[in-house]
Chain A
């Protein structure tokens, strides 16, 4: 057992003389593999006791080469890569990229498609904020809130899966439209999911917003002033919590946001608590947007009468044609299931721009007649496909973390020449040292949680 050393008494008169107690700063390496780092990032904090004196942030551990890969695939092939940028709100990335390419093409999509994209974006925004608030609450010890919010997120993911087929990485939007129309039961399922989300938000609100421990840990920490935030290029809920009113949906509206009524919550102090409150309120506003959009969405196509020919399942038609029975199927009309859950609505006319050289034909046409087959071939085969005219465009949308912009340069070929994504959390992370310095080491976790760093977007 070590011998106990006698306590050292600090004598101010001894300063500068040998034998006095000296303090040194400590370097603490947080990450890259760390439970509180959402994803992988390294913060080398210089500590003076408990206080952070300096913080050096190192990123790039998830660099997957999005921009280089998007030069290798065609325009629609970039969409899966774009999904995995901000992977908690993939539909917003989809929408931003597709709208940028549509701007380069000079293409406008039908209204129903805009409404569908807005609804799916807002659902994605809610899932992003749920994950962010839930994870940062968990790191402060409020594990129940995390479980509740993930439960709400599951309801929303089931809804997304019903529409797009996948829970997380959806690849739903296409250049010029979306993959498929909303299923018939969407309106009710959506209302149910939103009711559950509202309940969860009310519960979490009751658990956290006036909770003494939570408020004490979050308020006054991680402050950034509005000028600093603007100089760092920060946008989104982070900027709005510092008091600056900038929301791409209101200031540079796109899709149908200018017709929808919603409020944009603005904070005052710019600390962690304000960011939490702004995100909670944004979720409620997103619910409001979705409900308005569901009310205003122009109706989808109704089941049309069969025109000519007896209906035949498309796969069966292909099999019989391969067997050589062309005469027997000459009067048949191919029927396929355009959406996933079996509704037989034709999907192209109201959710996709009518531009034949950009959009894949309906499966009935692709299987049923030669023009559809040729159109399909020309759009899908390597070397053909969507070719925007030569030019460059920049299109910003409001991502969950801020302004998500896509800068697309096209040289007339079938693959993009350059795709640049303006990642909103890159700018917030560049301001992280400023947020951390002056606070204590235990405040690193809530501050970093409120940054909502998503590795896929930060490092691309």
Chain B
């Protein structure tokens, strides 16, 4: 399906769940509420219209510092805003960060049979950073969710063993959050340099 018809099919199937959708640069993207995640994911996997048998990627983005980087005063108008070239599709503009929530968990799906891709975004509040786990549907969700927990601190309900995967267990904090300073080291041995 093309991006537009895919988005239309999802909007028709889940009118309550869909908060927003766009296809910026040709990538079909849907923002859904987090209570609908498991149901939407199950439908995407099993329904013959979608057949998303690959969970290609899962990650999260911390939008707390979005747009807050100061531009240099003197050349502040020197940003490159390039208009889309005809070879790269841009049917929809980007809608901005998906919501006021701090985190967004981003899922990328791919269908081998129908060759279409979909990006699913689930905004998550910082205070109650918990989402349903997809380990019952795709086996790779196990490690992907562990990584999101490790790097961002978002918990996954129903995950068999949510522990750190890239950092060591003694590490305190979640490194990819915007408020974690890049060179704050917590060495196991050796000096803190």
Contacts and interface: CB of A to CB of B under 8 A. Distances in A.
Interface stretch (A59-67, A79-87, A330-338, A343-351): A59-67
B82 A358 contact: yes
Given A244-B112, A414-B69, A430-B142, 17 more contacts: A59-B165, A108-B87, A231-B53, A231-B138, A231-B139, A378-B75, A384-B72, A387-B81, A392-B119, A394-B57, A394-B119, A403-B56, A407-B59, A409-B61, A418-B61, A418-B62, A429-B143
A138 interface: no
Contacts of B142: 430
B166 A108 contact: no
B69 A60 contact: no
6 contacts: A63-B166, A231-B53, A233-B140, A392-B119, A405-B56, A412-B81
Contact of A422 (B27, B56, B66): B56
A235 to B, nearest CB: 8
A27 to B, nearest CB: 18
A106 B140 contact: no
B68 to A, nearest CB: 8
B67 A232 contact: no
A107 interface: yes
A358 to B, nearest CB: 6
B148 to A, nearest CB: 11
Contacts of B59: 407, 420
A291 B106 CA distance: 40
Contacts of A407: 57, 59, 106, 108
The 8 closest A-B pairs by CB, nearest first: A106-B84, A233-B140, A383-B72, A391-B94, A60-B166, A413-B69, A357-B80, A422-B57
Contact of A394 (B27, B83, B143): B27
Interface centre among B24, B25, B65, B115 (most CB of A within 10 A): B25
Interface residues on B, range: 35 or more
A388 to B, nearest CB: 7
B186 interface: no
A276 interface: no
A35 interface: no
Interface in B82-123: 82-85, 87-88, 90, 94, 96, 106, 108, 112, 115, 117, 119
B25 A104 contact: yes
Nearest to B112: A246
Contacts, number: 148
B96 A390 contact: yes
Contacts of B78: 378, 384
B79 A459 contact: no
Contacts of B55: 233
A431 B182 CA distance: 31
Contacts of B69: 411, 413-415
A252 interface: yes
Contacts of A63: 166-167
B82 A105 contact: yes
B126 to A, nearest CB: 17
Contacts of A238: none
Contact of B182 (A65, A108, A231, A427): A65
A162 interface: no
B54 interface: yes
Nearest to B87: A108
Nearest to A413: B69
Contacts of A388: 80, 82
A439 B75 CA distance: 63
A355 B82 contact: yes
